[in-house]
Amino acid sequence: MQDVEAGALLGGRYRLDRHSHIGRSGLLLWRATDEILERPVAVHLLEGLTKAQAKELTAAAARAGAVPEARWVRVLDVGTEDVERRQRVWIINEWVDGQSLTALLRREPLKPAVATELITSCAEAVVAAEAAGARHGALHPDEVLLPVDGAARLTGLELHHALAVATGRDEPGYDDTRGLGALLFAAVTGRWPLPGWSGLPAVSRGDGYHPRQQRGSVGRDLDDITARALLGQFPDASALATALATLPSQPPLPPVEDVDEPRYRAVRRAAWWVVPPVLVTAIGIAGWVTGRDLGQVPGADRTSASTFRQPSHHSHRGGNRLVWSTPPGITSFDPAGDGSEDPGGVGLAIDDDPTTAWTTDTYHGSRNFGGLKPGVGLLLDLGRPKRVSAARLLLSAAGADIELRAGDAPPQQASDLAVVGTAAGAAQSSRLTLKAPTTARYWLLWITSLPKTGSDDYSLGVDEIALLS
């Protein structure tokens, strides 16, 4: 979609502001503005379709829009355009401010009673969709959004099945009732038991059906219901919801922020720009150890792209300045995997707040992504070519091998962009000076090996990346 850029207007109404995710199927997710109603919206874009494929997608959007259930993210509009004798489809959804269930579970699993409350709500939403003749087709924790001040919302209704039909790719192979069972398993263990999605670590022990084998604090009744759902022993979501209603449940507590936390964040943000790297690390180390290692980073830090603070146009030591005054487009880049890692957290790497981070998945067995892929990264789109002479990185841990790559066309593989700088065994706070000042539009922070984070676990968080003139 090289001709679709920030500022483009769809249907004479929806102005594209920034894209936040590129899926394996080629589907783009943009944050946009409805210029008539002056509100943010989410836009899904897919192009290169035949008229039959476009018809399937628009029909799916219509089916999703007809479901009268507030827990599904609403479809607001849909349209098509001719692009070089093919079809482009755009689907407009309401924009939801909130973190994904994935982001929450990467910190720690939920208490069983809270998980029961959450998945019961999801099951009731699926029941309403089934009653209206609609399905999801690929439920997983990225599809569950958790607004700060409201009930959980599910997204992607009808879209995944329609995309599979339109693009000819395989569907995950499980129905929505099994998907709900997998959500329940993930909610109480932090691990994902089904194939086709890798946003959380895989099951590490047990048969993959009984969460009690993974986490001993899970009660036997919850363990039994979860296993029955994953084994396809409930006829539909309604039967599962009825079973869940017999278990103890508890709504999550509202987030409480320490009164000193805003002051701490402000000091650390300032330190990121004006204090030497060693002191930056020292200022943050207490919060990092207690928050990241123990899995208790405050929930407000893991919000969706719509709530990120805007980067300031800071001066930097040595006269360098940020090359952007408003946030660039940023997406996770995982061409050898499922297309993305932590897509809901990408903006945390450029939110001018080093207390938040985009994180890779956790890999096992080796620092080279468990032998599964050559790397993952973050792709920045500056909107137009800009001259860069250095980059500043603040990472969750030292020891990663990193390349900075650049070019003027959106890449399909990392090798499509030229290497302009490297850091082997990068320090937690690093300044990466380019081999020569480079002018380019697309910049890829490409991670080729990970630091060790556990006995056999490897992962990396990118707290901040800044490109400097």
- Kindly indicate the confidence band of residue 274, based on its pLDDT and cuts at 50, 70 and 90: very low
pLDDT digits (tens, 9 = 90+) for 251-272: 876 554 444 444 444 444 444 4
Q: Are strands 144-147 and 98-100 parallel, antiparallel or unpaired?
A: antiparallel
Query: For residues 61 and 88, what is the distance between their CA atoms, to the nearest angstrom?
Result: 14
Residue 201 belongs to domain with CATH number: 1.10.510.10
pLDDT of 321 over the 90 cut: no
Q: Identify the band that residue 284 occupies on the pLDDT scale cut at 50, 70 and 90.
A: very low
Q: Quick one: average pLDDT of 245-249?
A: 93
**What pLDDT was estimated at residue 106?**
86
Give the model's confidence band at 45: pLDDT under 50 very low, under 70 low, under 90 confident, else very high: confident
The owner of tokens 């250095």 is 390
Query: In 93-251, where does DSSP find H-type helix?
Result: 101-105, 112-131, 159-167, 176-189, 220-230, 237-244
pLDDT surpasses 90 at 364: no
58/106 same-domain check: no
* Domain end call among 94, 118, 133: 94
Instruction: Give the 3-state DSSP-derived string for 418-462, with helices as H, strands as E and coil as C.
Output: EEEEEEEEECCEEEEEEEEEEEEEEEEEEEEECCECCCCEECCEE
Nearest to 55 by CA among 164, 166, 141: 166
Q: Are residues 330 and 455 in the same domain?
A: yes
pLDDT score, position 303: 33
- Is residue 290 pLDDT above 70, yes or no? no
pLDDT of residue 281: 36
H or E segment to which residue 273 belongs: helix 261-274
**Number of folded domains in the chain?**
3
Q: How confident is the model at residue 305 (pLDDT cuts 50, 70, 90)?
A: very low
Residue 59 lies in a domain: yes
User: Which among 301, 353, 303 is positioned nearest to 327, based on CA atoms?
Assistant: 353
Q: What is the mean pLDDT of the chain?
A: 80
Closest CA to 48 of 2, 4, 85: 85
Lowest mean pLDDT of 48-57, 125-134, 152-161, 317-326, name the range.
Answer: 317-326
CATH number at residue 331: 2.60.120.260
Are 422 and 341 members of one domain? Answer: yes
CA distances from 238 to 37, 154, 232 (A): 37, 17, 13
Predicted pLDDT at 255: 52
Domain stops at, among 42, 76, 94: 94
Do 441 and 363 belong together in one domain?
A: yes
Considering only residues 72 and 199, tell me which one the structure prediction assigns the higher pLDDT.
72
Q: How far apart are CA 346 and CA 378, in angstroms?
A: 8
> Distance (Å, rounded) from C-alpha 58 to C-alpha 14?
17
> 448 and 324: one domain?
yes
Residue 315 clears pLDDT 70, i.e. is over it: no
Tell me the C-alpha distance between 129 and 65, whole Å. 10
Q: Is residue 412 part of a domain?
A: yes
Percent pLDDT > 90 in the chain is: 41
> Both 177 and 268 in a single domain?
no
Residue 400 is predicted with a pLDDT of 94
Indicate whether 249 belongs to any domain: no
Q: Which of 188-202, 353-367, 399-413 holds the top average pLDDT?
A: 399-413
pLDDT at 205: 85
- The per-residue pLDDT for 294 is 28
d(CA 449, CA 426): 10
Domain around 318: 261-297+308-468
The structure tokens listed for 218 are 């899970």
Mean pLDDT of 37-57: 87
User: Per residue in 144-200, pLDDT tens?
Assistant: 999 876 789 999 899 877 777 666 666 677 899 999 999 999 999 999 999 888 888
347 has a pLDDT exceeding 50: yes
Residue 434, in any domain of the structure: yes
Do residues 134 and 15 both lie within one domain? no
> What is the structure's pLDDT at 337?
81
pLDDT at 47 over 90: no
Closest to 264 in 3D by CA, of 242, 238, 286:
286
Mean pLDDT of 77-101: 87
In a domain, 302, yes or no: no
Say if residue 295's pLDDT is above 50: no
Q: What is the model's pLDDT at position 229?
A: 97
pLDDT computed for residue 108 by the predictor: 86
Q: Are both 192 and 269 inside the same structural domain?
A: no
Q: Is 27 part of a structural domain of the chain? A: yes
In SS3 terms, 329-381 reads as EEEEEECCCCECCCHHHHHHHCCCCCCCCEECCCEECCCCHHHCCCCEEEEEE
The distance in angstroms from the start CA to the end CA of the chain is: 28
Query: So what's the pLDDT on residue 20?
Result: 61
Tell me, what's the pLDDT at 191? 94
Place 320 in a pLDDT band, splitting at 50, 70 and 90. low
